[in-house]
A and B are shown apart, each in its own frame.
Chain A
Amino acid sequence: MKKIKEFILREVADEYILIPTGHTTEEFNGIITLTETAAFIYNHIEEVNSFEELVQTILKEYDIDEETATKDAVIFINHLLQTGLITLSDPQKNW
């Protein structure tokens, strides 16, 4: 996956916010609030080469079971795709 919008990620107490910057301000107003896990996924999404690798990266960071990590990742990645914040970097691998 690759990020196609410009956002600044900032930690605010126990949550994170995405603030649009650059060209992204032409289409996004306001801020997006993320949970800690969502911020972690957003930060690492370009570093991993598959969904499975992303889940394993989450499991290394957080003390949660694989089912929960998979479910959280699916929901958040679908949200990022639907809102156009990310796109597939390798369509053949669906990633």
Chain B
Amino acid sequence: MYNIGGLIIEINNHDHIPTPKNLELFRVDADCYDHLYDIYMIDYIETENEKFILNKNNIKIFMQDEFHKRYLYLPGDHRPYGLCLRMHEGHTVVYVQKEYVQLFESDTIFASILSLEKRMYFLNKFILHSAYMLHNGEAILFSAPSGTGKSTQADLWTKYRGTRTINGDRTLISKENDQYFANGWPVCGSSRICFNETYPLKCIVFLSQAKENKIEKLDYKTKVKKLISELTINYHYAPFVNKVMDFIDDLIIHVPIYHLECDISENAVICLENQLKEDKIWMR
């Protein structure tokens, strides 16, 4: 069994499809599970002609009885690589098309068939596209669109301040007893840096590339917009959107959020470091 963000899942991998190495970091001994996945490999996934409640390039969903049936696609491909059927609350059956089976070593693809973001939504925990860095026992999250340099910035801190990166691409944010936490997540994209560790959340830093280093505290509106753009949100499901917006409202109140315009020198580190010292959150 696996403990992902506090959810105990059991995966019956009936046909031994490859699984990502990261997943093993989340393996636990447990007596019972919250959610069961039965995964099968099949030769061909039949697609339905019924009316989809969502019809996008990478995912098509329709309702079967009261549960979603999800077809998953690679960009530009018309054949699904996976089909996920919610049999009832707490049980999902996944069919993987044989010709795509090697893809499932990729943590991004494997996580997609588990709908982990939806499972976390039920626990009021959400995934931020961010490099998660451990600093003085607390988490600093560098968030930005892909290609901006999130893990590069975390690497600078490792080089100049001896910090450690917990995840190079994704962080699960949760709130327990009025305290926000950064949690390890089994998806880390191309960064290949993934550990299963949880620490109190010190701050979130949105990054953009610049020739000179400059840091600012963001206004409320900008914080909301930046968080919306980097959180994993199932936009098609209105209750998810409303819940994540409530989460954002509360997160902004409790966690400092900055915007760092930065280069890839030690000066970028010093710029953020000075701000954290000024705000007295350097050491807590």
Contacts and interface: CB of A to CB of B under 8 A. Distances in A.
B31 to A, nearest CB: 38
Interface residues of B, number: 18
Nearest to B237: A21
Contacts of A13: 219-221, 224
A52 B22 CA distance: 61
A4 interface: no
- From B219, B221, B229, residue with most partner A Cβ within 10 Å: B221
B55 to A, nearest CB: 6
B238 A22 contact: yes
A12 interface: yes
Given A12-B221, A23-B53, 9 more contacts: A12-B220, A12-B224, A13-B219, A13-B220, A21-B237, A21-B238, A21-B241, A23-B236, A26-B54
B224 A25 contact: no
A17 to B, nearest CB: 8
25 contacts: A6-B238, A8-B238, A10-B245, A12-B220, A12-B221, A12-B225, A17-B225, A19-B235, A21-B235, A21-B236, A21-B237, A21-B241, A22-B53, A22-B54, A22-B236, A23-B53, A23-B54, A23-B55, A23-B236, A25-B54, A25-B235, A26-B54, A26-B55, A26-B56, A31-B225
B242 interface: yes
Interface of A is mostly: mixed
Contacts, number: 45
Contacts of A21: 235-238, 241
Interface of A: 6, 8, 10, 12-13, 15, 17, 19-23, 25-26, 30-31
A26 B51 CA distance: 14
B282 to A, nearest CB: 29
Contacts of B228: 19, 31
Contacts of B224: 12-13, 17
A19 B245 contact: yes
A73 B221 CA distance: 24
A25 B236 contact: yes
A30 B226 CA distance: 11
B242 A25 contact: no
Contacts of B56: 25-26
A23 to B, nearest CB: 7
A22 to B, nearest CB: 6
Contacts of B245: 8, 10, 19
Interface in B213-265: 219-221, 224-225, 228-229, 235-238, 241-242, 245
A15 B237 CA distance: 23
Contacts of B55: 23, 26
B54 A19 contact: no
A26 B59 CA distance: 10
The 10 A-B pairs at the shortest CB distance, nearest first, are namely A25-B235, A21-B238, A13-B220, A25-B236, A12-B224, A13-B221, A8-B241, A10-B245, A21-B241, A12-B221
A6 B241 CA distance: 12
Nearest to B244: A19
Given A23-B54, A25-B54, A26-B55, A15 B236 contact: no
Nearest to A21: B238
Given A21-B238, A21-B241, A15 B54 contact: no
A27 to B, nearest CB: 10
Nearest to A6: B238
Contacts of A12: 220-221, 224-225
